[in-house]
């Protein structure tokens, strides 16, 4: 059980902190909520106390004998501030200690994660950007805000990331430390495909696969948290869009090919984590094929789909990294890794992430384990963990292979 301090500052998004608190407690963590006085205008202390099972106070004058303004931060394994308003970021950057939350931030030696939420103009203001840069320089993790509906009719960057996204990234930091969300992808343009393509047989049926897109979504979420400009080409993915990520929805292999090739122009990294159907029906019927009808097929002829990964490799430019995925099972011709090494050589990509999908593994599950193979012979095993944790390990293996800076 980890000890998490959940800081809540005074913005309308404070109501989402209750959902984040529930996610933390359901994961088995001991959570101490430390709101600012302004936060209690939006959510009452009783709510946070009931959900956390711990007392809630905003000032340093309560429980003086426990020296709470020092002890809370000292004992924490992780501090998450959500929402972090422009005012809170400014006070944290300047080292203020004028309430219990800012005092706690000064005494915490554990990783600290800020999830900003404010109007677009406030987020983009040079003062706020300088405060964010200061906090990051000191080792804090400041997540990029989501883009979407704000208070009233306004829309743009400044929306609080969804609690599920914050909780997923917090779990990665707890498991692997602040380095799991290092800013080593800052300014990089990443294109990631995810999900599984569907090849229509008739208006009702299709040929598809079991990919849920969860691993690709985790790769996009972690890359955005590590500073990348991310485009997610999502094939039939029934999941919320990760914050800070532009999503391009597609259905078939040909649609995925067209979108990925178009988006990959100028990208630093292209990750083909989508499960692209190798074959599609030769003909798509205009009407539903019915049993016993004259149109009932005795067989369904298949044709090959384009090899998107191989085409991305042939069209890649110097300095662009192409990362492939292989969902493999062992058979009489070889084990999972031997098949994967052959695929790496055949496709010519820079990195191949290998999934052992035998016996119902990986697809649709919350955990994963992979082996990362590189074209120069490198092998890195990523042990079982959350898909966000696996994504962080993959990016840690990929990031050092990027040449030059984004301005190069």
- DSSP tag of 161: P
Q: Tell me what percent of the chain is helix, strand and coil, each rounded to the nearest 5.
A: 35, 25, 40
Q: What percent of the chain has pLDDT over 70?
A: 95
Q: What are the b/e assignments for 351-368, b being 16+ CB within 10 Å? A: bbbbbbbeeeebbeeeeb
- DSSP tag of 188: -
- 333 has a pLDDT exceeding 60: yes
- DSSP tag of 362: S
Least Cα distance to 81 among 22, 127, 140, 155 occurs for 140
Strand 146-149 and strand 155-159: the pairing is antiparallel
Give the DSSP letter string of 263-321.
HTTT-SEEEE-SB--SEEESS--SS---TTSTT--S---EEEPP-HHHHHHHH--TT-E
Whole-angstrom distance, CA of residue 67 vs CA of residue 64:
5
Q: Where in the chain is the domain with CATH 3.40.50.1950?
A: 3-181
Q: What percent of the chain has pLDDT over 90?
A: 79
pLDDT at 407: 46
pLDDT at 349: 95
pLDDT digits (tens, 9 = 90+) for 12-51: 999 999 999 999 999 999 999 999 999 999 999 999 999 9
pLDDT at 363: 61
Whole-angstrom distance, CA of residue 197 vs CA of residue 207:
8
- 362 has a pLDDT exceeding 60: no
pLDDT at 360: 60
pLDDT at 103: 94
| Mean pLDDT over each residue of the chain, to the nearest integer | 92
pLDDT at 69: 64
pLDDT digits (tens, 9 = 90+) for 252-303: 999 999 999 999 999 999 999 999 999 999 999 999 999 988 888 889 999 9
pLDDT digits (tens, 9 = 90+) for 129-141: 999 999 999 999 9
340 contacts: CB under 8 Å, gap ≥ 6: 326, 328, 352, 354, 371, 373
Sign of the alpha-carbon torsion through 212, 165, 117, 136: negative
* Catalytic positions: 209
**CATH architecture, range 3-181:** 3-Layer(aba) Sandwich (3.40)
pLDDT at 283: 92
Please answer whether residues 25 and 33 qualify as being in contact, where contact means their C-beta atoms are separated by less than 8 angstroms: no
Confidence of residue 408 (pLDDT cuts 50, 70, 90): very low
| Residue keyed to tokens 């501090």 | 79
pLDDT at 357: 80
Fold of 189-401: Rossmann fold (3.40.50)
Of 21-25, 200-204, 237-241, 363-367, the least confident: 363-367
Q: Is this model's pTM higher than 0.85 or not?
A: yes
pLDDT at 61: 63
Q: Where in the chain is the domain with CATH 3.40.50.10300?
A: 189-401
Query: 3-state class of 354 per DSSP?
Result: strand
pLDDT digits (tens, 9 = 90+) for 111-135: 999 999 999 999 999 999 999 999 9
Mean pLDDT of 386-390: 94
Confidence of residue 104 (pLDDT cuts 50, 70, 90): very high
pLDDT at 294: 85
Query: 3-state class of 244 per DSSP?
Result: coil
pLDDT at 220: 97
């Amino acid at each position: 059980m980890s000890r998490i301090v959940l800081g809540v500052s005074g913005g309308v998004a404070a109501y989402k902190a209750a959902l984040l608190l529930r996610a933390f407690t359901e994961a088995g963590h001991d959570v101490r909520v430390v709101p600012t006085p302004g936060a209690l205008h939006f959510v009452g202390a009783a709510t946070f106390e009931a959900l956390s099972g711990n007392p809630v106070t905003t000032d340093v004058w309560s429980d003086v004998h426990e020296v709470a303004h020092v002890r809370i931060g000292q004992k924490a394994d992780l501090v998450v501030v959500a929402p972090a308003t422009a005012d809170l970021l400014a006070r944290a950057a300047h080292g203020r200690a004028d309430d219990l939350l800012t005092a706690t931030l000064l005494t915490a030696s554990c990783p600290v994660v800020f999830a900003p939420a404010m109007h677009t103009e406030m987020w983009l203001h040079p003062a706020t950007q300088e405060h964010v840069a200061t906090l990051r320089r000191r080792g804090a993790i400041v997540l990029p805000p989501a883009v979407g509906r704000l208070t009233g009719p306004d829309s743009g960057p400044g929306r609080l990331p969804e609690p599920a996204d914050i909780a997923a990234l917090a779990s990665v930091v707890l498991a692997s430390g602040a380095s799991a969300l290092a800013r080593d992808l800052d300014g990089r343009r990443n294109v990631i495909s995810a999900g599984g393509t569907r090849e229509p047989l008739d208006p009702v049926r299709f040929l598809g696969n079991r990919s849920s897109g969860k691993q690709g979504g985790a790769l996009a979420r972690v890359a955005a948290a590590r500073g990348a400009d991310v485009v997610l080409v999502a094939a039939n993915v029934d999941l919320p869009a990760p914050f800070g990520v532009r999503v391009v929805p597609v259905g078939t292999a040909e649609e995925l090919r067209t979108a990925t090739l178009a988006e990959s122009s100028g990208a630093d990294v292209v990750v083909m984590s989508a499960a692209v159907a190798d074959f599609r029906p030769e003909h798509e019927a205009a009407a539903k094929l019915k049993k016993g009808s004259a149109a009932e097929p005795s067989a369904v002829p298949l044709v090959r789909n384009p090899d998107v990964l191989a085409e991305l490799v042939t069209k890649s430019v110097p300095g662009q990294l192409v990362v492939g995925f292989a969902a493999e099972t062992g058979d009489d011709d070889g084990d999972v890794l031997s098949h994967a090494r052959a695929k790496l050589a055949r496709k010519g990509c820079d990195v191949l992430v290998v999934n052992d999908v035998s016996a119902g593994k990986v697809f649709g599950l919350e955990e994963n384990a992979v082996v990362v193979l590189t074209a120069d012979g490198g092998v890195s095993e990523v042990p079982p963990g959350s898909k966000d944790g696996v994504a962080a390990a993959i990016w840690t293996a990929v990031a050092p292979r990027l040449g030059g800076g984004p301005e190069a």
